[in-house]
A and B are shown apart, each in its own frame.
Chain A
Amino acid sequence: MTILLPPVKQRLAAGWLVLVVLAGLFAPSAVSPPDLANINQPPFQGGHWLGTTSQGLDVGVSLWQGARTLLLVSLPAAFFTLLAGAVLGGTAGYWGNTRLRITHFQLALALFALLLTGLLLTYFPRFAFWILAGVPAAAAVAWAFLPGSTRSATRLALPLDSSILGLIALVNSVPLLVLVVAAAAVQRPSLTGVVALLSATCWPTPARLMRAATLQCRTQPYVEAAQAAGIPSLRILWRHIGPNALPVLLVRFPLTVAVLISLETTLSFLGVGLPAEMPSWGRLLAAVRQAPPDWWLILWPGLAITLTVLSLQRISGSENRR
């Protein structure tokens, strides 16, 4: 182990990740027909270098196409996870429990918008996108421009921090895998569904990190000066706190991707989440259940998953040390 110096390890890790990304980018999209004449073929025989499954699928091609699925699921999911974490953590950290005060009118407006969104989503699930975009936008316009929305003597303090911490505790109270498998089992398999599900369940850790970083920044003199100068809160968050707090979150990116890859492959292994025709490393690994003696069905996808997750952790570790 002493021969491999840390930079070499990191270079190897980065090299493997680049390989995976390139494989994903250039993977063939055409469905490869199963070679039914050569099922359960061991590696390095005939035309199938890494062997075939009991359904005649080429393990090499499936791994290659699986790399694309990996990118399609884990990268967007990691982005949305961090985005949700940043927004919620930043909100909780900056405003705390007492610093956001709103009028009764604004509270009623927010509750009404929430209720309306829920009702519309229940009765018109087909228009989910328009409802989720339209109702909050309309509420925001009303919030900003309606007379009386800001004119009021008594204002209520919104306990944002407690609410978000409560939500984090709620999501964390159920083991992640149980939560994801339960949700994936009831919804119809789809790529966007899996991305949404993973984002919706993995945000608490980045949210906690972001909250801590924001709390730290908020007490800095330059932030207090900006507040004293009357600069709007959103601008302070964006221009002064964001640039200092976000790097903490970005360091977390490779680890988040690693967690999501493990989750995605676990879901595919269990046969839920992704559509059946989508090649995935987890699904390839699951093929061993139908042919237990076929060791190559464990070796190749197992190796690929292990190397990818370890590489991401190595990269993340070096970022941390920096």
Chain B
Amino acid sequence: MLVWMGLLYACTAPTTRSPEGTVRIRWARDPENLDPLIVSNASAYEVANLTHCSLLMGREEAHDFVPWLAESFPTVKHLGDTLLQVTYRIRPEATWDNGTPVLARDVALTLKIMNCTGLPTEMAQAMFGFIRDIRLDSADARRFTLVCAGQSPEHIRSSGDFSVLPEYILDPQGQLRTVSLADMRRQPTLAAAQALARRYQRLQLARHPENLPGCGPYRLSAWQSGRYLTLRRKKSWWADVYPAPPYQLQAYPATLIYQVIPDAATATLALRRGEIDVYGLMPAAEFTRLQQSADDRQRLAFYTADAYEFLTASFNVRQPVLRDAATRRALGFLFDVPALIKATQQGAATPSAGLISPRMKEYYNDSLALPAFRPAQTVAMLRQAGWQRQPTGRWQRTSVQGTPQILRFGVSYRAGEPSFETAALQFRAAAEAIGIEVELRPTEQAVLSRQLQAGETDMCIRNYSGNPFSYDFTALLHSRGIGASNTTQFSSPLTDHLIEQITTTEDTRKKRLLLRKFQRVMAQEMPFMVLYFLKYRVAASRAIGVVPVSGLKPGYEAARISPIKTPL
């Protein structure tokens, strides 16, 4: 009865329309933590990019980074064999909310925060630890030079990819101006550093990011965890002075309201009823269904973009049964990728042999085999890995310590996501057919993130995001990322070395060879198995105008939606 009533309700005409200048967007999950040092999911990243500015911003159409807070792309000078000097100048128009200009010393303070003991700097260290020093230009308060370890072009781009934070709030007295970055690292007990850490923590940015307004176009105005988050555009933002601002400095909607709706079907209902305007990353089946309905075609516009995000089955390599690569590779043959693509993506996704998109022909290792569904191969490989099938049909082996191990593990995934669930069900059926015991664990996203961080999962079906301009796998797969974003907890001296070489090499040919080798090693070690690269699907109300889409998460550019003034 409830279902019927729900369906009837769903078929009724839209009941609400957003006020002029407001765009309501669906989020699958809450940002959870809005501390700029801990940007742990796509929603938090989206908020960070709308409230703060970095020096550079990655743009898909450019296949590269473009200047954002920086006036132009930085100039680079090599210093000996190992160091790199990257010189930036901040746009003279850029100001903080109190009207003071954004200066080089704000960047210096941001870097000092990333090196401040007592703050959650693990992620920043993994990503920006290569920035060794900052030298301010005495003649120009907006010009500065970053001294980077290694001479990689990756480092030039990454060196400008962090949110710049305001000094006037975090260090109003300027006590840290005389302290160098090296001192911050070397002397954790420095009084000024400790005071900074205390001030930063007092702001409680995880829940109250409004205490530290950035120089981005939006400011957080309301946030109710798990329900909604509202961003309001600043009345006068510094980039408003540009008569024709470049893409990265465009911000049109007056209000952005993000509604947290984890369940895909509920989100579709909300879109059809006009309770949200934009539904990014829509499941393929829902998207096709809406496209086929004449009613929905009239009210909604449909967009697609080839994405750099991929679906993976990631293994926790610290779990005893999944510790050896042979077992992980064997399990990889239990996914029927072509059938999954057909069933969950309506055939529109690209299978891949590794973590680089097949679209990036230059770097993709096309000599590796694509994932194949071969349970017989799994049986043979499990035997090679030391597993023996018992009379009960289950698999067992003796561990190094001499205790018997049973091939039994859980598969976690975000509850309510159809593509994850279908992949998990297909894998489980294939695994059970050959005697592997698999327990499905659909888990709420926040709990799943915590479990992944704590290394409590066995195998997890999840998406990873990539991009077409940076090949820095430090956070994802380097030993430095363990405990932060390397949730597979995989590392080896060889892959660590390869990751470092990839990020430090300038020679495109050498980089291509290294990336191909890295993909080969990953296929051997298999800390995660790439199933396919997605296509992003965005459905949006026609009433809000054209939605610019992109192959980068979240699939749309909220700030560049230019709402139509007259209601339809």
Query: Which residues does A use to contact B, with CB under 8 Å?
Result: 30-34, 36-37, 39-40, 54-57, 271, 275-277, 285, 288-293, 298
Q: Give Cα A277–Cα B442 distance, bound, in whole angstroms.
A: 10
Q: List 27 A-B contacts (CB under 8 A).
A: A30-B432, A33-B429, A36-B343, A36-B422, A36-B426, A37-B339, A39-B343, A55-B343, A55-B421, A56-B422, A271-B415, A271-B416, A271-B442, A275-B440, A276-B424, A276-B441, A277-B425, A277-B428, A277-B438, A288-B3, A289-B263, A289-B265, A290-B265, A291-B285, A293-B289, A298-B3, A298-B4
Contacts of A290 in B (CB 8 A): 264-265, 285, 418
Residue B430 CB within 8 A of the other chain:
yes
Contacts of B426 in A (CB 8 A): 33-34, 36, 56
Residue among A34, A285, A289, A293 making CB contact with B429, cutoff 8 Å: A34
Q: Give Cα A33–Cα B428 distance, bound, in whole angstroms.
A: 8
Q: Give Cα A285–Cα B424 distance, bound, in whole angstroms.
A: 20
Q: Which residue of B lies closest to A286 (CB)?
A: B3
In terms of DSSP, what is the predominant structure of the interface of chain A?
Answer: loop
With known contacts A285-B3, A290-B285, A292-B265, A32–B429 Cβ distance under 8 A: yes
Q: Give Cα A33–Cα B425 distance, bound, in whole angstroms.
A: 8
Q: Which residue of A lies closest to B432 (CB)?
A: A31
Which residues between 473 and 511 of chain B lie within 8 Å of chain A, taking CB atoms? none
Residue of A30, A271, A276 contacting most chain B CB atoms (<10 Å): A276
Contacts of B422 in A (CB 8 A): 34, 36, 54-56
Residue B433 CB within 8 A of the other chain:
yes
Are B10 and A292 within 8 A (Cβ)?
Answer: yes
Q: Which residue of B lies closest to A291 (CB)?
A: B285
Residue among A33, A55, A276, A298 making CB contact with B442, cutoff 8 Å: A276
Contacts of B416 in A (CB 8 A): 271
Contacts of B10 in A (CB 8 A): 292
Contacts of B266 in A (CB 8 A): 289
Q: Give Cα A168–Cα B3 distance, bound, in whole angstroms.
A: 32
Q: Give Cα A31–Cα B424 distance, bound, in whole angstroms.
A: 13
Q: Give Cα A33–Cα B421 distance, bound, in whole angstroms.
A: 13
Contacts of A291 in B (CB 8 A): 285, 289
CB distance from A58 to the nearest CB of B (A): 12
Contacts of B421 in A (CB 8 A): 55
Q: Give Cα A307–Cα B235 distance, bound, in whole angstroms.
A: 62
Contacts of B430 in A (CB 8 A): 33
Are A277 and B336 within 8 A (Cβ)?
Answer: no
With known contacts A55-B422, A290-B264, A290-B418, A276–B342 Cβ distance under 8 A: no
Q: Give Cα A311–Cα B327 distance, bound, in whole angstroms.
A: 50
Interface string of B335-365 (1 = CB under 8 A from A): 0100110110000000000000000000000
Residue B183 CB within 8 A of the other chain:
no
The 8 closest A-B pairs by CB, nearest first: A36-B339, A33-B429, A276-B440, A36-B343, A289-B265, A31-B432, A55-B422, A277-B440
CB distance from A285 to the nearest CB of B (A): 7
Residue B439 CB within 8 A of the other chain:
yes
Q: Give Cα A285–Cα B439 distance, bound, in whole angstroms.
A: 22
Contacts of A289 in B (CB 8 A): 263, 265-266
Are B433 and A31 within 8 A (Cβ)?
Answer: yes
Residue among A30, A34, A285, A298 making CB contact with B425, cutoff 8 Å: A34
Are A31 and B428 within 8 A (Cβ)?
Answer: yes
Are B439 and A275 within 8 A (Cβ)?
Answer: yes
Contacts of A288 in B (CB 8 A): 3
Interface string of B404-437 (1 = CB under 8 A from A): 0000000000011010011011101110110000
Contacts of B438 in A (CB 8 A): 277
Contacts of B440 in A (CB 8 A): 275-277
Residue B380 CB within 8 A of the other chain:
no
Q: Give Cα A34–Cα B440 distance, bound, in whole angstroms.
A: 15
Q: Give Cα A293–Cα B441 distance, bound, in whole angstroms.
A: 28
Q: Which residue of B lies closest to A293 (CB)?
A: B289
CB distance from A65 to the nearest CB of B (A): 13
Query: Which residues does B use to contact A, with CB under 8 Å?
Result: 3-4, 7, 10, 263-266, 285, 289, 336, 339-340, 342-343, 415-416, 418, 421-422, 424-426, 428-430, 432-433, 438-442
Contacts of B265 in A (CB 8 A): 289-290, 292
Q: Give Cα A288–Cα B351 distance, bound, in whole angstroms.
A: 28
CB distance from A89 to the nearest CB of B (A): 33
Q: Which residue of B lies closest to A39 (CB)?
A: B343
Contacts of B7 in A (CB 8 A): 292
- In addition to A290-B418, A291-B285, 18 A-B residue pairs with Cβ atoms within 8 Å of each other are A31-B429, A31-B432, A32-B429, A34-B343, A36-B426, A37-B342, A40-B285, A55-B425, A56-B343, A271-B415, A271-B416, A275-B440, A277-B428, A289-B263, A289-B265, A290-B265, A290-B285, A292-B265
Q: Give Cα A288–Cα B264 distance, bound, in whole angstroms.
A: 12
Are B429 and A54 within 8 A (Cβ)?
Answer: no
CB distance from B297 to the nearest CB of A (A): 16
Contacts of B339 in A (CB 8 A): 36-37
Q: Which residue of A lies closest to B338 (CB)?
A: A36
Contacts of A277 in B (CB 8 A): 425, 428, 438-440
Q: Give Cα A290–Cα B7 distance, bound, in whole angstroms.
A: 12
Q: Give Cα A298–Cα B3 distance, bound, in whole angstroms.
A: 8
Q: Give Cα A57–Cα B418 distance, bound, in whole angstroms.
A: 13
Q: Which residue of A lies closest to B283 (CB)?
A: A290
Q: Give Cα A32–Cα B425 distance, bound, in whole angstroms.
A: 10
Q: Give Cα A54–Cα B439 distance, bound, in whole angstroms.
A: 21
Contacts of B342 in A (CB 8 A): 36-37
Q: Which residue of A lies closest to B342 (CB)?
A: A36
Q: Give Cα A54–Cα B441 distance, bound, in whole angstroms.
A: 19
Are A33 and B433 within 8 A (Cβ)?
Answer: yes
Q: Give Cα A33–Cα B433 distance, bound, in whole angstroms.
A: 8
CB distance from B79 to the nearest CB of A (A): 56
Contacts of B343 in A (CB 8 A): 34, 36-37, 39, 55-56
Q: Give Cα A37–Cα B347 distance, bound, in whole angstroms.
A: 11
CB distance from B97 to the nearest CB of A (A): 42
Contacts of B428 in A (CB 8 A): 31, 277
CB distance from A306 to the nearest CB of B (A): 10
CB distance from A307 to the nearest CB of B (A): 16
Contacts of A276 in B (CB 8 A): 424, 440-442
Q: Give Cα A150–Cα B280 distance, bound, in whole angstroms.
A: 74
CB distance from A278 to the nearest CB of B (A): 9
Residue of B3, B4, B266, B418 contacting most chain A CB atoms (<10 Å): B3
Q: Give Cα A186–Cα B212 distance, bound, in whole angstroms.
A: 35
CB distance from B531 to the nearest CB of A (A): 13
CB distance from B523 to the nearest CB of A (A): 24
Q: Give Cα A277–Cα B428 distance, bound, in whole angstroms.
A: 9
Q: Give Cα A130–Cα B339 distance, bound, in whole angstroms.
A: 48
Q: Give Cα A33–Cα B340 distance, bound, in whole angstroms.
A: 13
Q: Give Cα A33–Cα B335 distance, bound, in whole angstroms.
A: 12
Q: Give Cα A285–Cα B265 distance, bound, in whole angstroms.
A: 14
Contacts of A57 in B (CB 8 A): 425
Contacts of A271 in B (CB 8 A): 415-416, 442
Contacts of A32 in B (CB 8 A): 429
Contacts of A30 in B (CB 8 A): 432-433
CB distance from A294 to the nearest CB of B (A): 10
Contacts of A285 in B (CB 8 A): 3
Q: Give Cα A298–Cα B10 distance, bound, in whole angstroms.
A: 16
Contacts of B432 in A (CB 8 A): 30-31
Residue of A30, A40, A275, A290 contacting most chain B CB atoms (<10 Å): A290
Q: Give Cα A89–Cα B10 distance, bound, in whole angstroms.
A: 46
Q: Which residue of B lies closest to A295 (CB)?
A: B7
Q: Give Cα A291–Cα B10 distance, bound, in whole angstroms.
A: 13
Are A36 and B285 within 8 A (Cβ)?
Answer: no
CB distance from B65 to the nearest CB of A (A): 39
Are A54 and B425 within 8 A (Cβ)?
Answer: no
CB distance from A56 to the nearest CB of B (A): 6
Residue of B266, B340, B429 contacting most chain A CB atoms (<10 Å): B429
